[in-house]
Chain A
Amino acid sequence: MKGITSDSHRVARTAFVALSATGGALAGIVWLAARGDLDVPRVLAPPHARAKVACTSCHTEGYAKTETGAPPKVTCAPCHSKELHASTRGPHARLMAEGKLTCATCHPAHEGFQAIAFKGDVAVRWGPNAEVRAKVNGASPDGQTVPLVRLSTCGTCHSVLDPRDPVARCVPPVAARGELWSRTPSLCLDEHSRVSERTRAQTGVCGAQHGDAHLAAQELAAEVVRTTAWQETTKIARGAYVPPSVAAIFAAIAAIVLEARARARAKRPESKAIALPAKKKKLPVIDTTTCLGCNACVEACPFDVLEVDAYVAKVARPEECCGVVLCAQVCPNASLTIREGDDEEPTRLPLADDLESARVAGVYVVGDLTGVPLIKNAIAQGDRAMRRIEETFPKGKARVDVDVLVVGAGPSGLSAALRAKSFDRSCIVLEQGTVAASIKSFPRGKIVHDPPLSLPVEGDLWLAEATKEEIVAQWQRIVRMRGIEVREGHRVIAASRDEDTGTFTVRAEGPEGPLTITSRRIVLAIGRRGTPKTLPLTLDPGADEKVHYALADAASFAKKRVIVVGLGDTAMEAAIAIARQPGARVTLVARGEGFNRGKAKNVADTKRAITENKLQVRFGTRVVAVGRTSAKLETIATGALETVSNDAVLVLVGGVPSWDLLEKIGVLTPEIVKEG
């Protein structure tokens, strides 16, 4: 649909990308959760962790509701005796008694909890999930643990950096300079450590921590604090970057998939291929009682077969009808139907449905020769024939030069050769002229149109609305790039089939003399151009150079007096192209009386050029003789002769198909040739 643009797709595509990203995030989170990294409990200090202390042993019930950013209320009482651990400092003890200071104020059980433990001659400075070891010089108070308190904790009440504050003596020199003070432990480690008879009497863990050895441990710990850094708790958010990353990757993949799909869709328009010649002559039939006169069929027909008159469509040029029934497809109310005539297509070759000759097995006929028009169809046919050849290619080996021999390097021949290449079949293309000679013969700058409704191009040959020069250049490039062997200037004169082996022997004449090639299959893509028709002209010596049978370059006819013989599309297009050249004077010479064939556009252009005095037309006239600077015209009705001055004659009256070659190969019977 024409109105559908990226604007209208965009919402769905954005939603797709967003959903993919969301899916990615979900997947990442699920992965995190599965690893148990998503909802990890808060880290605990190693002694608590070792003792497997549960949240509820410290936090009284309902603690979750009290979280307001202030320290949660905790109780250490089940394990630690409050009495024993009262502060030795009066103000602290008072605050504790008032309940304004708790154990957890100075000793947070989670990230902030650090201590130094002595094991053998090693001091282990630990925090949750982290520890560092240092060698102890001298006697080690083995088994002692000294808890550390952050200066920042003291800082909630004290001015830590103020020298008048009692805390000042606990501040290590590095912190006194104002650096790192939140991560520096206080050096006053004697908060609870007055050793008494009572504590000496304790046994077990408590006794061990409250003996004389503990005093020594504090001394040493102060030393360790000075030499080791605060232990940062690491790896809390392990894997937290995974969900966003997965989401980003998913989104990127979604975007790439969408882009690739859009590109693939833009490249290949879908429609039904019409690559087979019609068996019977087809013609549109219009029901005048229902026809809306809407012009849909007129627009659809690439050959101007139809026109609308008095608001009803009619078949104006039945002879141009190609049987490609685009008109019937677009008719809104089925007023136009296609009737298959009784007449066989007059010049139809006896072909099977897969383009194989019905008379000679192994010979395939493609392109204009089948009676199906349009370059696009020719390309599709070449492709189709080669696919068929590949499907039915005989197994086993045969002594041949090539697998497939293609005759003719036009659109269908090249298309077949390209496909053969893709199937890895050896293939040679024999061409009497040059690559795409039929297209080269178009007038310079002619735009080769796509037909109004797009037929698919199944082959690899590039075809868009482009000038013929561009198409030829592009095709030549394709031939070179893909390494297709095209032997130009080779004219096939005969081909015969060995009935035992089913192989062909083809004889051709080339610039270096005769050539014989054997092959398993033959693709005939020789078109209908054949050799251009000539006129029975009387040529003066030296005048033959000025008679042309194709228009290669209109610009070369500037400032010349040119006679164009014929009134078909080719002749009219050539005449108009030459008439546009500065100083060129063109006369169209036609045997008939008036414009009775050709595309409407060409007829209209020609008529306009005539009214604009850019070209002349002489009906009912023929050229009988050509001299060096003149030409002799004869009015057919009266036989009157007239000599006009002239620089060039273009004979564009069609060509003679190579019927005799077809007959020699056997795809045509002599009778058909006669009729044709």
Chain B
Amino acid sequence: MTAWPGIVWGAAILRGLDDRGRREIEAAGTLHEKRTGEPLYADGDAADAVYVVVKGEIEVSGLSRGERARRTKRKALAGDALGEEALLGAHAVRDGGASCAAACTVAEVPFGVLLRALVRAGGAELKDRTARAVRRRLLEQRLRTSGLLEGLDDGAVGTLLDAAAFREVARGEVIAGPSDPHDHALFVLEGLLGIQESDEDGRLSPVGYVGRGDLVHDPRRATFGVTVSAQGPSSVVLLPKARIEALFAEGHLSADIAQRGLLPEARVPTKGTTAHLVGDLYRVQIARSLLVIDQDACVRCGHCVWSCGNAHDDGAPRLTRRGDKLLLPILDDRARPASREAAQATHVPLLLPNSCQHCKNPACLKDCPTGAIVRDGRGEVRIREELCTGCGNCARGCPWENIQIVPRAKSAEKPPFPDVAVKCDLCSDKSHGPACVSACPTEAIVRIDPAESPLVGQKAGTIEVVPRGRVPAWPWMILAVGVGLAASRLVVSSRGTGLLAGGVALVALVYIGKKRAKPRGKARGTRPHYVAHLAVGTLATALAFVHVRLGGSSPSGVVALVTFVALALSGFLAALAYVTLPRMLSRLEREGRLPEDLPRIREEHARKLFRALSGRTELVKKVYDKVLAPYRASRIGPLVLVASRRSLGAEERALSSRIDALLEGRGKGKLAGLDALLRLVVEERALAASVWLSRALRGLPVIHVATVGTFVVALVVHAVLALRGGR
């Protein structure tokens, strides 16, 4: 039994679906009522659904080749389906707009569910046929836009399209190896391919990227000679090389075009641009809303993660502070405008934590068996919890582990599925905006649209739009000391200063409330509160100092004083650590990691080290014995590394030059594997340093908070006794 009108199931593409398929489509789909002239979708929109007209009439319009004005391509009447391009997968986009010609009712059928229902009901053939037609249309369009079909007559285009073979590749899949015969050119319909060269040891290093509308082709080569692999799920068209050569020979294609897709120079990111800095270019390109953390300012308090869990009913954070890190050369935005050109590019270490980035081509959406994952008009990817079965297919599909399966929030009725997939929802149902962003005391975390703040492909030092976290404002604290001392001139009595100092100290507690309360109402960042906390704390310290000078000594007063000194000192040290340590720490990290990861990473390092050492030449082992082993064993080594302010690379170079000095040029060619060893020992030392730095960063605030509890008790006792008169 289905609730949708029967006419929907009569549409060609939905015919032959079984009951189960219909039920699933109804659960995931929607019936839309539209007024005349109301648009259904527009050109270039993400195509996630196929539509079936129930009532009324829909007009599909678009630009055809060679035309300047929009033209109605077709009219869909009741029972007709439209928007079949959705069958191409998650990276499909609309190649025309659709709007209601007359008041209409339309059924929206999410493509993921449709695909499954179709294939299960034996409609694979129909689906393939439809997809083939759509693909061919798309290929022609793309070939034209990239100028490859210029000057070809329809017949020649037809033969080329006929010869095309389509291939869908998954992320990481190798499309062509170095020794594979280069008997076809690769045209990228959608997605991103990486071109890598392999060295003698079989290690791959990227030499370039090709994306939508690019051609991988080299007439001079018989084999590819490079590895071409998919950086993300891509749609690739194999065009027979012979066919393309023939087109060249017949003079249809210009030499200019022939040069364009050459291997391996194709789209090589020139040195000095940011593209080659990004280990995972696809990730940045595909993201619509990327969460980034400025590691130089991030105090590793983890408050972003905590507040994320706090903002959601199930209490599960949608964000973990692990992930890739990229060093972005940017203009120093704090430099004065005049000196900007002269200013050296500064490198900002940005962490891309595991948090949904609302991909343009979401793998999760495609993988969802019930169509629970949808995109809205702005491209925001959302999970409809009522449809989610918690099967985990999306979590496995996401290449960056940005989705988690967690137990559902407790509710009155027992849910049919105990688990649910959760991911960042941008806190879009909350007025305060992303909780993680507003929770950050140093404004180090921010959501950016990589397309708007062009992170990738820019020359070093041209990027301006990146977040810069900010450390505490010292002027406020200095001002607070001044205010405190001035106040002490006005209030000279012991009791007066005592009450003032105690009151101000209690005001500083407001910060805890602000940080830990469930965010409500309009967004206001935590940073003003943090700065205010520091200022108020400083003021309280100044007043307490005056009070102690004026007052006598009583046991309760001494208790309060001792706890307050511990409180102020730990607070000061924590604030100092927040300013100084993040930079030290980010210099030592190659990726985002949590303190609890460090012991495991250290263990792994030790194991890797012994593996890297085994089977090496005597010379390498001797070098290890003489230089690297003492380097590892040094207890103050981590401290020296931090004090030297060297980056990991610089430390490696320094160590390497020490070895070179020792060898004096001997033993060339017998040092294979030494670089790997160097890297490992330096990393090991950096890890040890990281452990201590993270302990300081994380431990000092804990001590501070613990002293708060102690002080509040001592203060209350002291105040009660003093006011009672017993001092």
Interface residue A640 (Cβ < 8 Å from any Cβ of B): no
Instruction: Please determine whether A7 and B706 come into contact, CB atoms closer than 8 angstroms.
Output: no
What is the CA–CA distance of A244 and B567 in the complex, to the nearest angstrom? Answer: 11
Instruction: Please determine whether B713 and A26 come into contact, CB atoms closer than 8 angstroms.
Output: yes
Given A8-B306, A8-B309, A236-B553 contact (CB < 8 Å): yes
Interface residue B316 (Cβ < 8 Å from any Cβ of A): yes
Instruction: Please determine whether A29 and B553 come into contact, CB atoms closer than 8 angstroms.
Output: no
Contacting B at CB under 8 A, from A452-472, are 466-467, 470
Instruction: Please determine whether B554 and A310 come into contact, CB atoms closer than 8 angstroms.
Output: no
Contacting B at CB under 8 A, from A209-250, are 236-241, 243-244, 247-248
Q: Which of A179-187, A292-300, A526-534, A538-546 contacts B (4 or more CB under 8 A)?
A: A292-300
Given A7-B594, A21-B707, A39-B726 contact (CB < 8 Å): yes
Instruction: Please determine whether B316 and A244 come into contact, CB atoms closer than 8 angstroms.
Output: no
- Which residues of A are found within 8 Å of B461, using beta-carbon distances? none
What is the CA–CA distance of A28 and B555 in the complex, to the nearest angstrom? Answer: 12
- Which residues of B are found within 8 Å of A333, using beta-carbon distances? 389, 416-417
Instruction: Please determine whether B369 and A311 come into contact, CB atoms closer than 8 angstroms.
Output: yes
Q: Which of B89-97, B99-107, B492-500 contacts A (4 or more CB under 8 A)?
A: B492-500
Interface residue B427 (Cβ < 8 Å from any Cβ of A): no
Q: Give chain B nearest CB distance to A318 CB in angstroms.
A: 22
Instruction: Please determine whether A310 and B119 come into contact, CB atoms closer than 8 angstroms.
Output: yes
Quick one: which of A5, A17, A64 contacts B702, CB cutoff 8 A? A17
- Which residues of B are found within 8 Å of A38, using beta-carbon distances? 555-556, 717, 721
Q: Give chain A nearest CB distance to B88 CB in angstroms.
A: 17
Quick one: which of B306, B494, B559, B706 contacts A11, CB cutoff 8 A? B306
Interface residue A156 (Cβ < 8 Å from any Cβ of B): no
Interface residue A58 (Cβ < 8 Å from any Cβ of B): no
Instruction: Please determine whether A241 and B562 come into contact, CB atoms closer than 8 angstroms.
Output: yes
Quick one: which of B320, B417, B703, B724 contacts A3, CB cutoff 8 A? B320
Chain B residue nearest to A13 in the complex (CB): B702
Contacting A at CB under 8 A, from B361-411, are 369-370, 389-393, 396, 401, 404, 406
Chain A residue nearest to B707 in the complex (CB): A21
Instruction: Please determine whether B559 and A243 come into contact, CB atoms closer than 8 angstroms.
Output: yes
Interface residue A139 (Cβ < 8 Å from any Cβ of B): no
Given A38-B717, A255-B702, A294-B391, A18-B708 contact (CB < 8 Å): yes
- Which residues of A are found within 8 Å of B321, using beta-carbon distances? 5, 7
Residues 561-603 of B, flagged 1 when their CB comes within 8 A of A and 0 if not, give 0110010000000000000000000000000001110000000
What is the CA–CA distance of A15 and B515 in the complex, to the nearest angstrom? Answer: 13
Chain B residue nearest to A331 in the complex (CB): B391
Chain A residue nearest to B391 in the complex (CB): A294
Instruction: Please determine whether A311 and B607 come into contact, CB atoms closer than 8 angstroms.
Output: no
Instruction: Please determine whether A21 and B706 come into contact, CB atoms closer than 8 angstroms.
Output: yes
What is the CA–CA distance of A236 and B301 in the complex, to the nearest angstrom? Answer: 42
Contacting A at CB under 8 A, from B289-340, are 301-306, 309, 316-322
Interface residue A513 (Cβ < 8 Å from any Cβ of B): no
Instruction: Please determine whether B320 and A7 come into contact, CB atoms closer than 8 angstroms.
Output: yes
Interface residue B712 (Cβ < 8 Å from any Cβ of A): yes
Residues 465-504 of A, flagged 1 when their CB comes within 8 A of B and 0 if not, give 0110010000000000000000000000000000000000
Interface residue B653 (Cβ < 8 Å from any Cβ of A): no
Given A21-B709, A68-B495, A5-B302 contact (CB < 8 Å): yes
Q: Give chain A nearest CB distance to B23 CB in angstroms.
A: 11
Q: Give chain A nearest CB distance to B22 CB in angstroms.
A: 13
Q: Give chain A nearest CB distance to B222 CB in angstroms.
A: 15
Quick one: which of A18, A255, A262, A295 contacts B393, CB cutoff 8 A? A295
What is the CA–CA distance of A247 and B708 in the complex, to the nearest angstrom? Answer: 11
- Which residues of B are found within 8 Å of A240, using beta-carbon distances? 555-556, 558-559, 562
Instruction: Please determine whether B727 and A42 come into contact, CB atoms closer than 8 angstroms.
Output: yes
Interface residue B441 (Cβ < 8 Å from any Cβ of A): no
- Which residues of B are found within 8 Å of A467, using beta-carbon distances? 611
Instruction: Please determine whether B709 and A7 come into contact, CB atoms closer than 8 angstroms.
Output: no
What is the CA–CA distance of A8 and B705 in the complex, to the nearest angstrom? Answer: 17
Chain B residue nearest to A2 in the complex (CB): B404
Contacting B at CB under 8 A, from A5-63, are 5-8, 10-11, 13-15, 17-22, 24-26, 28-29, 32, 37-42
Chain A residue nearest to B316 in the complex (CB): A3
Contacting A at CB under 8 A, from B1-32, are 20
Instruction: Please determine whether A244 and B554 come into contact, CB atoms closer than 8 angstroms.
Output: no
Q: Give chain A nearest CB distance to B406 CB in angstroms.
A: 6
Q: Give chain B nearest CB distance to A646 CB in angstroms.
A: 25
What is the CA–CA distance of A69 and B722 in the complex, to the nearest angstrom? Answer: 13
Interface residue B135 (Cβ < 8 Å from any Cβ of A): no
Given A240-B559, A296-B392, A5-B305 contact (CB < 8 Å): yes
Interface residue B689 (Cβ < 8 Å from any Cβ of A): no
Interface residue B177 (Cβ < 8 Å from any Cβ of A): yes
- Which residues of A are found within 8 Å of B120, using beta-carbon distances? 293, 310-312
Instruction: Please determine whether B406 and A3 come into contact, CB atoms closer than 8 angstroms.
Output: yes
Interface residue B213 (Cβ < 8 Å from any Cβ of A): no
- Which residues of A are found within 8 Å of B417, using beta-carbon distances? 332-333
Instruction: Please determine whether A470 and B607 come into contact, CB atoms closer than 8 angstroms.
Output: yes
Instruction: Please determine whether A25 and B554 come into contact, CB atoms closer than 8 angstroms.
Output: no
Interface residue B507 (Cβ < 8 Å from any Cβ of A): no
Q: Give chain B nearest CB distance to A110 CB in angstroms.
A: 9
What is the CA–CA distance of A64 and B725 in the complex, to the nearest angstrom? Answer: 5
Interface residue A251 (Cβ < 8 Å from any Cβ of B): yes
- Which residues of A are found within 8 Å of B304, using beta-carbon distances? 7
Interface residue A266 (Cβ < 8 Å from any Cβ of B): yes
Instruction: Please determine whether B391 and A243 come into contact, CB atoms closer than 8 angstroms.
Output: no
Interface residue B124 (Cβ < 8 Å from any Cβ of A): yes
Quick one: which of A6, A64, A236, A262 contacts B554, CB cutoff 8 A? A236
Interface residue A289 (Cβ < 8 Å from any Cβ of B): yes
Please indicate which of the listed interface residues A14, A20, A470 has the most CB atoms of chain B within 10 Å of its own CB: A14
Interface residue B655 (Cβ < 8 Å from any Cβ of A): no
- Which residues of A are found within 8 Å of B237, using beta-carbon distances? none
Chain B residue nearest to A40 in the complex (CB): B555
In the assembled complex, 7 residue pairs joining A and B whose CB atoms fall closer than 8 Å, in A order, are: A5-B596, A25-B559, A42-B727, A243-B710, A266-B596, A296-B392, A311-B369
The 7 A-B pairs at the shortest CB distance, nearest first, are namely: A7-B302, A22-B709, A294-B391, A240-B558, A64-B725, A7-B305, A21-B706
- Besides A3-B317, A69-B550, 8 other CB < 8 A contacts? A4-B317, A5-B596, A7-B305, A13-B702, A22-B710, A39-B721, A243-B710, A247-B709
Chain A residues at the B interface, C-beta cutoff of 8 Å? 1-8, 10-11, 13-15, 17-22, 24-26, 28-29, 32, 37-42, 64, 67-69, 236-241, 243-244, 247-248, 251, 255, 262, 266, 289-290, 292-296, 299, 310-312, 330, 332-333, 466-467, 470, 612-613
Chain B residues at the A interface, C-beta cutoff of 8 Å? 20, 115-116, 119-120, 124, 177, 179, 301-306, 309, 316-322, 369-370, 389-393, 396, 401, 404, 406, 416-417, 419, 492-495, 516, 550, 553-559, 562-563, 566, 594-596, 607, 611, 698, 701-703, 705-710, 712-714, 717, 721, 724-727
